[in-house]
Chain A
């Protein structure tokens, strides 16, 4: 219900009020016009969402309470590198977001990780980047010093 209200509000905000005010000459048509409007707006919103923060994660659940093994893996890997502050969006709370982000990223599964507005990948990719050292480098490019570098220093 929330997402219907939100998507309606989004629709009106972008000035596409025509979608809703057009005489309903067919229930299905009006519904699909409204749906398309909301879907297009979500794509636009996603474009902004992934750029607003350096690290953005679309996941099932929250960093405090992941609801899926793969999403949890992403949270744990980021935590290992000392990355605890990032934007995370729970797709389980919003079915539109869940489908919309797959379209936006052209990626079929959740979780999805973005660095500086650029799609990085899902759990598999993040894990491989962590294992081969690439993640430390990518975080450095974001101006984030991986905690693992400090851990290394301490052990020497």
Chain B
């Protein structure tokens, strides 16, 4: 009972290595992302937190919610140990347009 309490109330689950690199690799591998930015925002929040930008052709034609769910599914295990998560999902076309601005 005490152990369970500890795991859910401290970020004990984050003993699992949830690093920015790990997240980046997973996104590239599973979503065929052509570009990924992972920002570890943990220092600002006192808990494992990340902000990601994912660019993938797999997002084409998919509404925003569906894209976010794809990312959530890809990082399902990691998200159990992450406290806060922000994401931005772009298609390669949109990303190119943004870069030009």
Using a CB–CB cutoff of 8 Å, the interface residues on chain A facing chain B are: 70, 106-109, 119-125, 128-129
Contacts and interface: CB of A to CB of B under 8 A. Distances in A.
Give the 7 A-B residue pairs with the shortest CB-CB distance, closest first. A108-B79, A121-B65, A125-B64, A109-B85, A124-B86, A108-B72, A124-B87
Nearest to A129: B64
B87 A119 contact: no
14 contacts: A70-B84, A106-B69, A107-B69, A107-B72, A108-B82, A119-B65, A121-B65, A121-B68, A124-B68, A124-B87, A125-B65, A125-B68, A128-B64, A129-B64
Interface residues of B, number: 14
A119 B84 CA distance: 19
A108 B13 CA distance: 15
A85 B65 CA distance: 24
Contacts of A125: 64-65, 68
A41 B69 CA distance: 25
Contacts of B29: none
Contacts of A109: 79, 84-85
Interface in B42-101: 64-65, 68-69, 72, 76, 79-80, 82, 84-88
Interface of B: 64-65, 68-69, 72, 76, 79-80, 82, 84-88
A123 B88 CA distance: 11
Contacts of B72: 107-108
A120 B68 CA distance: 11
Nearest to A132: B64
Contact of A124 (B80, B82, B88): B88
A122 B80 CA distance: 16
Given A107-B69, A108-B72, A124-B86, 17 more contacts: A70-B84, A107-B72, A108-B76, A108-B79, A108-B80, A108-B85, A109-B79, A119-B65, A120-B65, A121-B68, A122-B68, A123-B86, A124-B68, A124-B87, A124-B88, A125-B68, A128-B64
A129 B68 CA distance: 13
A119 B64 CA distance: 12
Contacts of A106: 69
